[in-house]
Amino acid sequence: MAAEVGIWRGHYADMTLPWMRWWDMQGNLLAIGDERTEQERQAKELALQEITFLKAKLRELGLDLPS
């Protein structure tokens, strides 16, 4: 994967400053450790909410699912 370095102004390590950051070739800022961890946590939470919603809908349709 190709990437490039640039200056990003934002809040990190309890400081708002210009920081050197990596971007992919489409211009998307690449997540660093804590950001990636938070993105993964949010994605997992969303997936669990969707599963709960879909199970409820299936039960409404009369399908009995294991918990």
Q: How confident is the model at residue 44 (pLDDT cuts 50, 70, 90)?
A: very high
pLDDT above 80 (res 65): no
Q: Measured between alpha carbons, how far is 59 from 62 in angstroms, rounded to an integer?
A: 5
pLDDT of residue 67: 67
**Total Cβ atoms within 10 A of residue 64:** 6
The ranges assigned to domains in the chain are 3-60
CA–CA distance, 31 with 14 (Å, rounded to integer): 17
